Amino acid sequence: MRSLALVLVALAACADAPPADPPPARIVVRAVYIQPMYGGQAMLVSHEAIPDRMPAMQMALRVYTPALLDSLTEGARVALTLDSASLEVVDVETLPFDTVLDLEPGDANGRGGVVLPSTGGGPPR
C-alpha cells in the first residue's frame, strides 16, 4: 500500500510540472536563390545559419509546390519559411537585392562564394 501511495504522489508531482515548449512549427531563414532543381521539386540555395540546426551552407531544399519558384530569379535574396521538421520550403518572400546575408565568414558581398550558373549567351556570372 505504501508503494502505491508513493507512486501516486510521484505522478501528481509530475502532473504539476509545466510542459516543455514544443519546437516552432516554422523556421525562417534568409538565402540567395541559385536555381531550381529536380524539375521544380527543389531549389538550390546558399543560406544563412539556422540556429541550433546547421551552419551557413549551399544546399538543395525541397519545395512544397513548384509554384513557389515561379517568380524567383537567379541571385535573388529570399526569406524562406521552412517546416521545422522536414525543412521543406512552404513559403518564399523576395528581399531587396542589396540585402547583405551572413553566408560564410569573410564574405563581404553576401553571396557566400556562390557562382551562379550561366543562362546561356556569354560567360558565367
From CA 105, how far away is CA 53, in angstroms rounded? 18
21-53 burial code (b ≥16 CB/10 A, e <16)? eeeeeebebbbbbbbbbeeeebbbbbbbebeee
pLDDT digits (tens, 9 = 90+) for 60-82: 999 999 999 999 999 999 999 99
Task: Read off the pLDDT of each residue in 117-121 and give the average, rounded to a whole number.
Answer: 44
**Which residue has better confidence, 28 or 115?**
28
Taking CA atoms, 38 is separated from 46, 54, 89, 97, in Å, by 17, 23, 14, 25
Name the pairing type of β-strands 77-83 and 42-47: unpaired
From CA 61, how far away is CA 80, in angstroms rounded? 10
In the numeric block, the cell 538565402 is attached to 31
Return the pLDDT at 106: 46
Domains of the chain, earliest start first = 26-94 (2.40.50.320)
Q: Percent of the chain, pLDDT > 90?
A: 54
- The model's confidence at residue 57, banded by pLDDT at 50, 70 and 90, is very high
For residue 64, count CB atoms less than 10 angstroms from its CB and return exposed for 0-12, middle for 13-18, buried for 19 or more.
Answer: middle
pLDDT, averaged across the chain: 79
pLDDT digits (tens, 9 = 90+) for 34-48: 999 999 999 999 999
